[in-house]
């Protein structure tokens, strides 16, 4: 039962790892600079299903990263229009008992809002075949699901309410 719960949590994390991706390779027009694209930056993705929030990062050179309580994935993204983007992220899938299960893949396509502070789109998830079979789901891409994110902006430091607690050093083993 514990293994099944781990697998369900891993799939939930994967599905929550809603990132910017597309099912195919997208050739980028040389005139389309990703450095000025509104997708560049760091985003907070919150689930309406009650799952923990996720952080997503898109660099100006096409690198993408996504992290949540369930793990971290890396991949690539490409601008597909002035405010649209596609990406693919790969996540290593681990089970406490079985070990490495394979790589899961998230693919999504999004559109950034006109003000550049949020995005919305769709995504698919593909888990390793052995994991899909163990969970009783079809092998291949699952979805599409809806994804949305809010840009993380610089905030001024607030007024502290107390000093930082001192941490005790863990005893050496």
Return the CATH number at 127: 2.40.128
Residue 159 located in a structural domain: no
Question: pTM, whole model, 2 decimals?
Answer: 0.74
Residue 53 located in a structural domain: yes
Contact 39, 112 (CB under 8 A): yes
pLDDT-derived band at 99 (thresholds 50, 70, 90) equals confident
| Residue 87 confidence (pLDDT) above 80 | yes
Number of independent structural domains in the chain: 1
| Residue 1 confidence (pLDDT) above 60 | no
Full DSSP string of 2-20: HHHHHHHHHHHHHHH----
Residue 39 located in a structural domain: yes
Tokens of 161: 């309410």
Give the domain range for residue 44.
2-151
Tens of pLDDT, residue by residue over 55-76, are 999 999 999 999 998 889 999 9
pLDDT-derived band at 48 (thresholds 50, 70, 90) equals low
Tens of pLDDT, residue by residue over 19-38, are 333 344 444 444 456 899 99
Position 61 scores a pLDDT of 95
Residue 89 located in a structural domain: yes
Residue 158 located in a structural domain: no
Tens of pLDDT, residue by residue over 125-149, are 999 888 888 888 899 999 898 999 9
Residue 58 located in a structural domain: yes
| Residue 9 confidence (pLDDT) above 50 | no
Residue 71 located in a structural domain: yes
Contact 127, 147 (CB under 8 A): no
Residue 160 located in a structural domain: no
């Amino acid at each position: 039962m514990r293994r099944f719960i781990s697998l369900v949590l891993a799939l939930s994390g994967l599905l929550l790892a809603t990132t910017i991706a597309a099912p195919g390779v997208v050739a980028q027009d040389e005139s389309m600079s990703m450095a000025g694209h509104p997708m560049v930056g760091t985003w907070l993705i919150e689930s309406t299903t009650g799952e923990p929030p996720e952080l997503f990062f898109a660099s100006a050179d096409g690198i993408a990263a996504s992290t949540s309580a369930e793990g971290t994935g890396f991949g690539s993204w490409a601008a597909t229009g002035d405010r649209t983007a596609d990406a693919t992220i790969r996540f290593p899938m681990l089970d406490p008992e079985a070990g490495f299960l394979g790589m899961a893949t998230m693919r999504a396509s999004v559109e950034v809002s006109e003000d550049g502070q949020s995005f919305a789109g769709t995504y698919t998830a593909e888990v390793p075949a052995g994991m899909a079979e163990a969970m009783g789901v079809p092998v291949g891409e699952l979805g599409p699901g809806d994804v949305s994110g809010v840009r993380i902006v610089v905030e001024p430091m607030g007024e502290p309410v107390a000093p930082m607690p001192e941490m005790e050093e863990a005893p050496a083993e």
